[in-house]
Chain A
Amino acid sequence: MRKVLLPSLIIIAASLLVIRVFYLQIIDDSFKLKSENNAIKKQYDYPERGYIYDRYGKLLVANQASYDIMVIPREVKEDLNISEFCELLNITKEDYQKRIAKARVYSPRLPSVFLSQLNKSEFAAFQEKIRKYDGFYFQKRSLRDYEVDYGANIFGFITQVNEKLIAKNPYYNSGDLIGKQGVEQSYEEILRGIKGVKYIQKDKYNREIGSYKNGKYDTIAVQGEDINLTIDAELQKYGEELMINKRGGIVALEPKTGEILALITAPSYDPGILVGRQRSKNYTLLYHDSIAKPLYDRGLLAEYPPGSPFKLLTGLVALQEGVIDENFSVSCHHGFSYARGRFMRCHCSGGQLQLHRGIYQSCNSYFATAYMKTINKYTKPAAAVDVWSNHLKSFGLGQFMGYDLPTGKRGKIPTSKTYKRMYPNGGWRSTAIVSNAIGQGEVVMTPIQLANMMATIANQGYYYTPHIIKKIEGKKIDSKFTTKHTTTIDQKFFPPIISGLFDVYNMGTASRLKVEGIDICGKTGTAENFAKIGGKRVQLKDHSIFVAFAPKDNPKIAIAIMIENGGFGATIAGPIASLMIEKYLKKKITRKDLETRVLNISLRSEYAKLGGMPEAEAIESTPKDSALKAKIITPKVTTPQAVVKKTIIDTTKKN
């Protein structure tokens, strides 16, 4: 026993040490990180963000140098000429003292930001003299420089990453910039490039003692790539001008490719106001304007019952299901009585209608009948609704379309499940859901879905997923944007619908909106809406809706327009559609009368009922173009003060 005690102790002790070392080195990996924090400093080299161009190569978004003045308090000399220094930077002496004190609180020997985001001209005078001021130096940063004062909703903006994202994505560090909203967000990784890292070895006093492993792990920054958007800058600008003093969204697509030609939301703002020293003040204003919602992209997000334009789909499905044909006729007596005591009013001129006149006169009775026949074709209404629903979904409705912008809404296309939820006891029949026929009922669509519907009709049965990316430097765009989606409707059923749409301009609701030399096909629509003002439910003026494409043969543009509280579709939305189409196809405007009228329409008095934020309105959609300013007479509207801030806007399904 006595002989083995020491050897045993040696073996046990050695094993114990090995186990402990194993635990430290292999099992507990927290030490690795601590050692990096301890000894290695990472220094980042931020690449310049890629530029953004329009479809024709016009530069929309570039970068500007911005300068942060940094200070190391301990190194600032006692005899610094403060008054001269303050004059150069245009700050007061008190400001100087306050900033130095703040920096000293942070650390006397580490650099901190003294003054941030100076632009070139603000910085120029100071730059010449900076050598005189020990302890001060500058750090160059790259900020966005907007070459245009429109398209804010398309571009999005740049902001500092938040803590949540840093935790989720290891690429970002505190203080890094990231694109938010618009293409800055959806093409963030392409635009931003990859930052370079230099590893620097520090000692226990936090001093740098050289590069870590002779720079073996250092990486060089990769420049951000430039992108071309499918946007036509001129069309975008024109659309935004037309929308001044109105609220709503416009989406214009090129039917043959699915490219987004214009994406307009109103009110909007000059993207330049979210850069530089005013950024946070302006952003706060825009963010808190919950009535006008300038940061809300109505073209992508505004969900409404589409109203009359939906009749086109009702017609197409009925044709495909073979329950009607081109010559099928319905007699309309200013309304449609579809069940005992149930009556749907109609504004058409009445009498016997075929599909053609049904479309251009937007006859409710005709499409209600067609829809009932579609549903009644099947013994079970549930099965019928699913058949109908699947046809509609082949148009990309009721789902996120998969376009390359970060926001969106599904819209809604009801299925048998929807009605099972609404009528848990069953017993519903075609009469219960007939409102769907005329785009009311349970159907909800966004402007971009409406635009895509028109593009699909223009293409006679196919579409490409709408997208805003035209070209990425040296790369192909995502193949999902070049994949053709074919609908479940036969091509032969489209021409009758198109010819009906053409006559909307010739003989129908949009006959006064014709443009010389362009065959436009279009359709008006309206959506009723209500708001709760002071606790009471009040009906507001209808939302004005218009969809169109042109030219009739070989379509080049499809467009959907929604104007909040714009009234009947042909009064505001229709003229805007005509002007936009003319602008795009002819690059000039012949219908000056229409243009002047639209520019001078202001719905501000209508919107004032909802209340608002005058400070925010001051920076929303303010035209800078002096020629344009002259053309627009902005009426003075006194916004009622002390309005309930939470005004709930809702739409209704009744019609």
Chain B
Amino acid sequence: MKNQSVKNNIDWISVFIYSALVILGWLNIYSSSLLSTDGTYQKQLIFIACTIPLIFVVLFVDGKFYEKYASIIFGVSLLSLAGLFLFGKTIAGQRCWYAIGSFTLQPSEFAKAATSLALAKYLSDTQINLKETNRQIQALAIIFLPVILILPQPDPGSALIYSIFILVLHREGLPAWYVWTGFITIVLFVFSLILEPQYVILISFIILAIVYFKGRVVDRNIILSGMILAAISVFVLSVNYVFENVFKQHHRDRFNILLGKTVDMKGIGYNTNQSEIAIGSGGWLGKGFLEGTQTKGGFVPEQHTDYIFTTVGEEWGFVGSFIVIALFACLFLRVIYLAERQKTKFSRVYGYCVAGILFIHFFVNIAMVVGIFPTIGVPLPFFSYGGSGLWGFTILLFIFLKMDANKVNEW
């Protein structure tokens, strides 16, 4: 009996952590919107209730369904994203919702799962070798298709999420220099904003020189080193140019706050400042459930959505914050562990995508809230208010849990 097998084989640890996070999330939404009159926490309760039938549907669909129809799901998803340009509803300047009566749906929340399925399907082909440039381009194309559709909405937060697929590809054989290039690019970007460009170039030169002379004589390639240095120089100088001339003031401000350059706490710095105050005032044990003064006073903007973690920090203190962060980390590690023991490449890649997507949401969101990442609209999975987000993440996770539960039937 299939029913029996899912119940017996599903990973209850993941289900438990998932449930804990959803419940904690709702309690914090309840606290942060207690004094508002637009029914925020009631609606979220309905959204949560809706996940139950959703989970059942996801679990009782045939195990092979997802692999079989991955391409079609991906195609539908891309169409739904493209359709936004025609039928989308604009909220707060972003055209990324479909409105059905008073109800809104955000297709980009579901596109992540679809892209993961598509990528898994593509990589599961035994012929695929990611050492080949052609394959690399094809794989990256799958990732970039939705990004191209999401960026102009504009929704840079959702687009940023897709960068995590690079790590998934790396796990499946993408050469390390992709990851390194990405990493070094980020480091150079940050440093060229903090320091004068000539110092960044000088430091890069010194590091390159050390690497060059430390290496074995046969490995020394003066032309390659020179090209790298030239590339770095061009990049650093162009970052400065782009930052000053292409970025809009509000983009620059988002970085400047982090770099400690702007102190206008009433204007652009308001969000970050207020969220730091709310979290910082929590202390060890927090002010207690429903006792947060910042939460009650509504000082933190968007508190029930992107800034929901401030309520955790203020009302539950360091202990509560630690528990939430630890629960998330455990869930990610658990999913990776499950992914590694999958028998098919398809479900392994998909598991990796799930862990990666959830992780990058989690990190970018909390890092932004605690003031170590620029302000960017990324929800905290399972916590932030919103039906599309909650359902998107639930479907994403439970498709994988279904695959995991089903693995005994595979052969």
Contacts and interface: CB of A to CB of B under 8 A. Distances in A.
Interface stretch (A30-38, A370-378, A437-445, A469-477): A30-38
Nearest to B174: A2
Contact of A3 (B171, B276, B321, B328): B171
Nearest to B171: A2
A11 to B, nearest CB: 7
Contacts of A14: 325-326, 328-329
Contacts, number: 127
A2 B297 contact: no
- Chain B contact-residue range equals 35 or more
Given A2-B170, A38-B299, A7 B336 contact: yes
Interface string B323-355: 001101100110010001000000000001001
20 contacts: A6-B355, A10-B329, A13-B367, A16-B372, A18-B321, A18-B325, A21-B318, A21-B370, A24-B276, A24-B279, A25-B282, A25-B284, A26-B284, A31-B279, A31-B281, A38-B277, A203-B35, A204-B298, A204-B299, A209-B297
B317 interface: yes
Contact of B296 (A24, A36, A39): A39
Nearest to B295: A39
A13 B317 CA distance: 20
A6 B171 contact: yes
Contact of B318 (A25, A203, A212, A213): A25
Interface of chain A: mostly helix, strand, loop or mixed: helix
A213 B289 CA distance: 12
Contacts of B280: 24-25, 28-32, 34-35
Contacts of B321: 18, 21, 25
B298 A203 contact: yes
B13 to A, nearest CB: 16
B287 to A, nearest CB: 9
B60 interface: no
A21 B359 contact: no
B322 interface: yes
A10 B297 contact: no
**The 8 A-B residue pairs with the shortest CB-CB distance in the complex, in nearest-first order:** A31-B280, A35-B281, A39-B293, A14-B329, A39-B297, A24-B280, A25-B318, A203-B297
A42 interface: no
Contact of A21 (B274, B294, B322): B322
B334 to A, nearest CB: 11
Contact of B370 (A2, A24, A209, A213): A24
A6 to B, nearest CB: 6
A24 B313 contact: yes
* A: interface residue count bin: 35 or more
A13 B359 contact: yes
Contacts of B296: 39, 201, 203, 209
Contacts of A29: 280
Interface of B: 35, 167, 170-171, 173, 179, 274, 276-284, 291, 293-294, 296-299, 313-314, 317-318, 321-322, 325-326, 328-329, 332-333, 336, 340, 352, 355-356, 359, 363, 366-367, 370-372
A32 B294 CA distance: 11
Contacts of B299: 38-39, 203-204
A32 B321 CA distance: 16
B325 A39 contact: no
A22 interface: yes
B332 A10 contact: yes
DSSP majority for the B interface?
helix
Contact of A5 (B167, B293, B298, B314): B167
Contacts of B352: 6
B279 A38 contact: no
Contacts of A13: 359, 363, 367
Contacts of A21: 279, 313, 318, 321-322, 325, 370
A202 interface: yes
A579 B297 CA distance: 70
Contacts of B179: 5
Given A18-B325, A39-B293, A31 B277 contact: yes
A40 interface: yes
A299 to B, nearest CB: 53
A25 B279 CA distance: 6
Contacts of A26: 283-284, 318
A24 B35 CA distance: 26
A350 B409 CA distance: 135
Interface in A543-581: none
A9 interface: yes
Nearest to A11: B329
Kindly name the residue among B167, B170, B276 whose own CB sees the greatest number of chain A CB atoms within 10 A. Answer: B276
A20 interface: yes
Contacts of B314: 35
Contacts of A31: 276-277, 279-281
Residue of A13, A16, A201 with most partner-chain B CB within 10 A: A13
Contacts of B363: 13, 17
Nearest to B167: A6
A340 B278 CA distance: 86
A5 B171 contact: yes
Nearest to B35: A209
A201 B294 CA distance: 9
B177 to A, nearest CB: 13
A38 B294 contact: yes
A28 B276 CA distance: 11
Nearest to B285: A25
